Each structure stands twice: as structure tokens, then as C-alpha cells.
Amino acid sequence: MKKRDKKLMLKLGEAILQYQESLTIPNEDRISQVKTAHGLCRKFTDGEGLTVDMELHKPFKSMGSVSVKGKNVVFVDSDVFRRITTLASTFDVYPKTNGTIQVDFGFNGLMTKERK
């Protein structure tokens, strides 16, 4: 790794740590959107060996995700799928080495700066 790249990575790491340590409060509206997406995924997906998981405040306290995994993943209502992708900050689909598919919906903004 080049010296300038190392410096950039260190600065980025410091900024992340500073943000993580800053005073923040939960953004209840955004957390509710993650929970809504999780419920919709549980109700409107189908497939063999299907699991639907939700994580809040991982990998950082301002982030969360909903993951749908299975041998095949089918969203049975395209309007609901569109709603979930609208709620999410990011959307990824990828095959896994064990022959399953994973669909991830990422959510940013689960925490907000505390107002003084």
C-alpha cells in the first residue's frame, strides 16, 4: 500500500471512530423503516430454505440491514419489493459459494446527532 493511501485510510478510520464516539440518539423513524422492511420481507418472500434476518447498529451504530437468504429467493409482490428498495439506502444481490442467494437491504441513518 502506498504511503498516501495509508494516510487516507488512517484519516478515514479516525473520522469513523470520532463519529462512533460522538453523542447520538436513535432515529426512531429510520429504525421503524428497517423493521417495516424486515416484516415485509418475511411476509412477501418465498423460496427453499429461506431465512430473513435483521441487524440494527452493525457494523456501525448508524447502520442496519435486512438479509434474505435461500436456495432461491422470490418476492411474490413487485410493489412490495419496490417499497422495500425505496426504504433502503442500498440493495445488493449475490450468489454464495454454498449454492444459495443472498439479498441485502442496507439502511443508513439509524442514529442522529444529539441536539443541545
Render pLDDT for 71-108 as a digit per residue (tens, 0 to 9): 999 999 999 999 999 999 999 999 999 999 999 999 99
At 13 the pLDDT is 78
Contact 84, 106 (CB under 8 A): no
Pairing of strands 101-108, 90-95: antiparallel
Name the DSSP letter for residue 109.
Answer: -
Mean pLDDT of the chain: 90
Domain boundaries, the chain: 25-113
At 18 the pLDDT is 73
Which pTM does this prediction carry?
A: 0.81
